């Protein structure tokens, strides 16, 4: 959706700070947050697109002042409330208090958790479907401004580009983030010139490649 989280192409945020010898986790609670996140998805509580949708709802001032794993915590709490997994009282007290009316699922087996922690989950779908575009095709990205979650950034909408590669078929985040339906689509790597995205003042030799779903694209 259009929101403050979609920061691509925005100015005046300063330089990116490169932390020397940056640790994977700065505090122990971040380690626990990462483990909880890994456990929730294979257990079927939520998917990554739902998490992203919730993060997009964080108010701008809070979003800017919130650390990375704090955003994860916010999203997981909201998912738990939304799906009746936990109540607000349970979240505040840190204890489960219900025996009925909850959507709690069985705990993730230890071996599945270890597998999820060590291996990337497969998101590409083995499905035969004729692609609508091929490498070399000139396209124009759609001028979309949906109120729902989407993976096409604002700066790349209504822009002319060239298809570089067909990456296969994946589930469309726009619907998957909102509890379905699951819509399989081809995802293409599309190259846009910097001048197409940012105007004539951008370096003429620079370009940006984005992975975009088929429904985000149209012929020029």
Q: Which residue, 22, 1, 77, 71, is CA-closest to 45?
A: 77
| Residues paired with residue 207 on neighbouring β-strands, in sequence order | 193
The tens digit of pLDDT for each residue in 30-75 reads 998 988 888 788 777 889 999 999 999 999 899 989 999 999 999 9
Q: Report the greatest alpha carbon distance in the chain.
A: 63
Question: φ, ψ for residue 115 (rounded to 5)?
Answer: -65, -45
Contacts of 152 (CB under 8 A, 6+ apart): 141, 142, 144, 210, 212, 213, 216
Q: In order of start, what are the domains of the chain with their CATH numbers?
A: 28-118 (1.10.472.20), 138-219 (2.30.30.50)
Helix (H, G, I), strand (E, B) or coil at 192: strand
> What is the H or E stretch that residue 166 is in?
strand 160-171
For residue 12, the model assigns a pLDDT of 79
For residue 106, the model assigns a pLDDT of 67
Q: Which residue, 190, 186, 185, is CA-closest to 136?
A: 190
The tens digit of pLDDT for each residue in 121-175 reads 678 999 999 999 999 999 999 999 988 999 999 999 999 999 999 999 999 999 9
Average model confidence (pLDDT) for the chain? 89
Radius of gyration (C-alpha) of the chain in whole angstroms? 20
Dist. CA 26–CA 113, nearest whole Å: 23
Dist. CA 79–CA 90, nearest whole Å: 14
């Amino acid at each position: 959706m259009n929101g403050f989280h979609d920061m691509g192409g925005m100015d005046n945020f300063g330089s990116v700070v490169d932390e020397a010898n940056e640790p994977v986790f700065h505090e122990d609670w971040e380690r626990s947050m990462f483990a909880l996140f890994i456990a929730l998805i294979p257990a079927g509580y939520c998917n990554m697109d739902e998490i992203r949708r919730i993060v997009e709802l964080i108010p701008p001032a809070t979003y800017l002042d919130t650390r990375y794993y704090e955003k994860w915590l916010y999203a997981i709490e909201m998912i738990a409330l939304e799906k009746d997994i936990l109540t607000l009282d349970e979240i505040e007290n840190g204890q489960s208090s219900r025996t009925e009316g909850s959507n709690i699922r069985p705990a993730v087996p230890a071996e599945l958790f270890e597998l999820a922690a060590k291996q990337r989950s497969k998101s590409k779908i083995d499905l035969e479907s004729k692609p609508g575009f091929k490498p070399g095709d000139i396209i124009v990205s759609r001028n979309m401004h949906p109120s729902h979650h989407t993976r096409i950034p604002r700066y790349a909408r209504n822009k002319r580009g060239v298809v570089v590669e067909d990456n296969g078929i994946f589930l469309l985040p726009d619907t998957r983030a909102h509890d379905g339906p699951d819509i399989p689509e081809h995802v293409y790597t599309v190259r846009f010139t910097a001048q197409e995205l940012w105007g004539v003042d951008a370096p003429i030799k620079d370009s940006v490649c984005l992975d975009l779903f088929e429904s985000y694209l149209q012929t020029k």
